[in-house]
Structure 1
C-alpha cells in the first residue's frame, strides 16, 4: 500500500472530508483530492503537517511497505509508584470484594 493510500484510508476512517482537510491546511479540496488519488505527489510539508495534526499515526508503519495500518498502538499508562503498604491494602480490598 502506498503512502497516499494509507493516508486516504486513515482519513476516511476518521470521517474527515477533503474540504475540512483543505481548509485546515490552506489549499483547495481539489488539491487534497489529487494527493489522495495519487495523481499529484503528496508534498512533504503536507505530510509533515498531517502527521502533526494526527499524533496517533505511526511513522514507521506509514513508510513501511509491510504495514497497512498506520495507527500506533495506544501508549501504556504509567502510574505513580506506590508504597508497598498501599499495594498490599489494594490486594486485600480486592480479595475481600471477591471472596
Structure 2
C-alpha cells in the first residue's frame, strides 16, 4: 500500500472530509482529492502537516511497505526504576512465598 493510500484510508476511518482537511491545511478540496487519489504527488509540507495534526500516526508503519495500518499500538507504560536492592528483596519475597 502506498503512502497516499494509507493516509487516505486513515482519514476515511477518522471520518475526515476533503473540505475539512483542505480548510485546516489551507488548500482547495480538489488539491486534497488529487493527493489522496495519487494523481498529484503529496507534497512533503502536507505530509508533515498531516502527521503533526495526527500524532498517533506511526512513521515507521507509514513508510513501511509491510504495514497497512499507520496507527501505532498503545505505548507501554513504564514504571519508575527500582534500585537493585529493591528488586532483590522482591525476588526473595516471592521465593519465600513459593517455597
Q: Sort the TM-score into its range (normalised by shorter chain).
A: 0.7 to 0.9
Show structure 2 runs of 5+ residues with no match: 87-99
Instruction: Identify the residue that residue 17 of structure 2 maps to in structure 1.
Output: 17
Instruction: Identify the residue that residue 8 of structure 2 maps to in structure 1.
Output: 8
Would you say how many aligned residue pairs link Structure 1 and Structure 2?
84
* TM-score, normalised via structure 1 length: 0.78
- Distance in 1 of aligned mates of 2:80 and 2:65: 38
Q: For the aligned residues, what is the CA RMSD?
A: 1.6
Write out aligned runs for 1:7-46 (5 A): 7-46=7-46
Which runs of at least 4 in structure 1 moved beyond 6 Å after TM superposition? Answer: none
* TM-score, normalised via structure 2 length: 0.78
- Distance in 1 of aligned mates of 2:42 and 2:2: 11
Show structure 1 runs of 5+ residues with no match: 85-99
